[in-house]
Amino acid sequence: MAETQSNDRESRWTLRGMTALVTGGTRGIGHAIVEELSGFGAIVHTCSRNEDELGKRLKEWESKGFGVTGSVCDLSSRDQRENLMKEVSSKFGGRLNILGNSSALSWGT
């Protein structure tokens, strides 16, 4: 039955070819969003302030066959936010389809 559900899921819709940025993707809801988007075939980039935690999550996702990349970024820093967007733009060829903001703080100016 699980195989049937998996096939049904794939036949309903897919995110293959889509790109996504999920902030705060190493914990909680952000982590779940990264896994769901990746599970549907999206290429995901995430960020975290915690380099060790990010590294562990990236290894987990790689072992699951997910196309997830990541970078260390403190979203409270304007310079780091700008660098994040440059990195994402470069990775995705200027195309971002999905933005999931799951960081624990708001993006300031």
What residues does each domain of the chain span? 2-101
- State residue 76's pLDDT score: 92
CATH architecture of 2-101: 3-Layer(aba) Sandwich (3.40)
CA 108 to CA 22: how far, in whole Å? 17
pLDDT exceeds 70 at position 10: no
Lowest mean pLDDT among 2-11, 31-40, 50-59, 93-102: 2-11
Which residues, including other chains, have CB under 8 Å from residue 76's CB and lie 6 or more apart? Answer: 105, 108
Beta-ladder partners of 43: 19
Q: Which has the closest alpha carbon to 99: 51, 39, 9, 34?
A: 34
pLDDT exceeds 60 at position 54: yes
pLDDT exceeds 90 at position 16: yes
Share of the chain above pLDDT 70, in %: 85
Are the CB atoms for 24 and 44 separated by under 8 Å? no
The residue with greater pLDDT, 107 or 14, is 14
- State residue 7's pLDDT score: 59
* Longest alpha-carbon distance in the chain: 50
pLDDT bucket at 85, cuts 50 / 70 / 90: very high
- State residue 65's pLDDT score: 94
